[in-house]
Amino acid sequence: MNLNEYVRKGKFYQAVVEDGSDIIFVVDYQGNILYHNRSVNETLGYRASFLIQKNFFDFIKPEGLVEFKKQFSASCRKSYTAGVEFQFRCKDGSFKFLEFNSINLKNKNKIPGLILDCRDITQRKQDAAELMRAQQARQLFLANISHEIRTPINGIAGMATLLNQLPKTEEQATYLNAIRSSSENLKVIINDILDLASIESGKLKFEKIGFSLNDLLKNLLDQYSLQARQRGIQLLLQKDFEGNPVLVGDPVRLNQILVNLISNALKFTPSGYVFVRCELKPRGKSQWHTVFSVRDTGIGIPAEKLQTIFESFSQADASITRKFGGTGLGLTIVRQLVELQHGTIRVSSREHEGSEFVVEINFKRGQTSDLPQVLQDRSAPHQHDLHGLHVLLVEDNDINQLYASSVLKNMNCRFDLAENGYVAVEKLKATKFDVVLMDIQMPVMDGYEATRAIRATEALSHLPIIALTANANPAEREKCIEVGMNDCVSKPFTPHELFAALTPFMRATRVSSPAPTTANNGTPRSGINLQYLQKVSNNDPAFIRQMLGTIHESLPRSIHEIEIALAQKDEKKMASTIHRMKPSLDMLGRGDLKSEAMVLEELANSGSGSDRQRVEQFMKQVQLLVQELTTHLP
């Protein structure tokens, strides 16, 4: 069959009109339906010929009927009309959005009627509505984020102005605290935005390191206990597990999840309590199934909003953002962090009664040996001393130079300054440094070029280089590593973050340093350091003496209890006693003994039995510490 035969035998009519995807109606000027094709069945649900002799207007949505009749009447006066939108009732009673193009039969055929070629545009309308909703949400988000960012910036600028007016000493402390608080708020906002960008770009990577679940939960409660007390809210923790389990995963991201949930609970709870619960269940031989729940007695979430609170730029109500602040990104980030770790999150809530968020994630089981050495050492306050480390600080911004220099001074580092990459390379050729802190965006020669030049110099090819960058995103970090840097620290950084980045290279410089002095029995002694007690007491001698006296009394009692537990093979009592000793060891600046206590506690809790020789060696070290402590007492 050729094309002429195809048209002559009516196949064209069959394919285009009868079997086409568009609905074809023929109606008179009064709206009476004289013909429709079979597409009404697929699109609207009506069987063949069902709508013939019905009136078209009877199926138009009542709210739009007046407007539709106006456009229909206009079509009866034109030869052709395009793009008339309306809603037509389906067989099941629902309404679908249709759009017709009409051909007026009177102009050529002298017949008072219209051919309506109708297309289903329901999906298009839904997409348009969703796009509009998303645009409005983003506009609201930008308005909120603009307000949120301006608030801490105004606080910083205002307090800095007041400091410049030479206030009294007590006023200075107040202003500085306000600046610090505003800076932290600004950092949280920026981190939220960067985290969301990293997640949505698929570039977020998770660590696989060991961490102590007990320590993580304790740090969380310590972080929010003061805020809860100030607001008169009880912050409660229940641990449905024993001992000190070590998990392998990403503790920073888990902490981020729980921080968001706890801070939200406190924010939206005017009175009552916030109850945090952690369950640990074995999943096979190699995994722990963790269940974290955060329950509060706060304002609750309306039932109709429960499905949207995890969406980007969304809170239960726009007024919530105005009243309580926040970017509206926290729960979005939480959900995505949970799901990227193959976990689940769910929420239940009753308005004016409270909410409960439950997170479930599987983690690999770990051992104490899986705990990163750097994390173990960070518990010792005295180790913020990096005496002897020679640092080259490459930074062009005066304020950043001043801040980083002050931090390095407090760590007892030797350091020199370079205002750009070119000067840094020349200084490195003339002077030996242990590590370089490298800014990225600088004039003359940026951090990338400088690093390439350093790596191209044979004598400097293995020199540690740590990037200092304000572009805190995964792509920037990857680029830093690619050009040859060892690590990347995001600005603004805390002294603790810079210390953690420098510590591994401090160890490298101490390889050839003298061995620690030893007691007669060969036990290493690193001495007592009172820096932590001096800091928390504002260097109050009476307070320090009282704390040292209490520790001097408690440690011998603990040693005696361990001896009894060893004799009775009471592992539970031994773990409990060693656990109680850790804060005292921390206060005396003995992070080495605290780390050993963590290991012994884990062994005692594991059920595999304690290493008697190791426990006895630990007790000897503590006894020596008690003897040395005597010299610090009146």
Cβ–Cβ < 8 Å for 49, 20: no
The mean pLDDT of 478-494, rounded to a whole number, is 85
Mean of pLDDT values over 400-429: 89
pLDDT recorded at residue 42? 86
Band (pLDDT 50/70/90 cuts) for residue 134 is confident
Which pLDDT belongs to residue 130? 83
Q: How confident is the model at residue 318 (pLDDT cuts 50, 70, 90)?
A: very low
SS (H, E, C) 244-279: CCEEEECHHHHHHHHHHHHHHHHHCCCCEEEEEEEE
d(CA 187, CA 152): 10
For residue 3, is pLDDT > 60? no
Task: Tell me how far apart the 2 most distant CA atoms of the chain are, in Å.
Answer: 120
Q: Which is more confidently placed, 194 or 132?
A: 132
- Could you confirm whether domain 375-509 is CATH 3.20.20.10? no
pLDDT tens digit sequence for 487-528: 888 877 778 888 888 887 875 444 333 333 333 333 344 468
Question: Which tokens is 596 given?
Answer: 């050993």
- Each residue's pLDDT tens digit, 30-45: 999 999 988 888 889 9
Per-residue pLDDT for 86 more than 90?
Answer: yes
Q: Residue 225: its pLDDT value, please? A: 84
For residue 9, pLDDT over 50 is answered with no
Structural domain spans, the chain = 20-120, 126-201, 209-369, 375-509, 531-630
Cα torsion through 244, 250, 251, 256, rounded to 10: -140
pLDDT at 473: 62
Task: Give the pLDDT score at 107.
Answer: 78
Report how far residue 39's alpha carbon sits from residue 349's, in angstroms, rounded to the nearest whole number. Answer: 46
Domain 209-369 has CATH 3.30.565.10: yes
d(CA 341, CA 362): 8
Which of 320, 318, 265, 268 has its CA nearest to residue 294?
265
For 265-293, write each residue's pLDDT tens digit. Answer: 998 999 999 999 999 999 988 999 999 99
Higher local confidence (pLDDT), 324 or 155: 155
Residue 217 confidence (pLDDT): 92
Residue 127 in this model has a pLDDT that exceeds 50: yes
Please state the CATH superfamily assignment of the domain spanning residues 20-120 in this structure: PAS domain (3.30.450.20)
- Kindly state the percentage of the chain with pLDDT values over 90: 34
For residue range 166-219, list pLDDT tens digits in order: 777 777 877 787 787 677 767 777 777 777 777 777 767 788 899 999 989 988
CA Rg value for the chain: 35
pLDDT for 444 beyond 70: yes
pLDDT of residue 450: 95
pLDDT value at position 348?
A: 93
- Contact at 8 Å (CB) between 15 and 29? no
DSSP code for 491: S
Position with higher pLDDT, 462 vs 139: 462
Most confident of 410-419, 530-539, 604-613: 410-419
Average predicted confidence (pLDDT) for the chain: 81
Q: Other CB atoms closer than 10 Å to residue 82's CB: what's the count?
A: 11
Residues 565-574 have a mean pLDDT of: 87
Sheet of 390-394: strands edge to edge? 414-418, 390-394, 435-439, 465-469, 487-490
Q: What percent of the chain has pLDDT over 70?
A: 82
**CA neighbor of 16 nearest in space, from 48, 43, 39:** 39
Q: By three-state DSSP, how is residue 218 classified? A: helix
pLDDT for residue 160 is more than 70: yes
- Looking at the domain that runs over 126-201, which CATH code has it been given? 1.10.287.130
- Give the model's confidence band at 610: pLDDT under 50 very low, under 70 low, under 90 confident, else very high: low
- pLDDT tens digit string along 372-390? 754 444 344 444 678 889 9
pLDDT at residue 213 in the model:
93
Classify residue 64 by burial, with Cβ atoms within 10 Å: 0-12, 13-18, 19+: middle
Give the least confident one: 204-213, 417-426, 594-603.
594-603
Mean pLDDT of 75-84: 92
pLDDT score for 515: 35
Is the pLDDT reported for residue 60 higher than 50? yes
pLDDT for 141 equals 62
Cβ count near 71 (within 10 Å)? 16
Burial 117-147 (b: 16+ CB within 10 A, else e): bbbbbeeeeeeeeeeeeeeebeebbeebbee
Residue whose token pair is 């339906």: 33
Q: Which CATH architecture has domain 531-630?
A: Up-down Bundle (1.20)
Q: Where are the alpha helices (DSSP H) in 514-570?
A: 531-536, 541-568
Handedness of CA 207, 213, 215, 220 (dihedral sign): positive
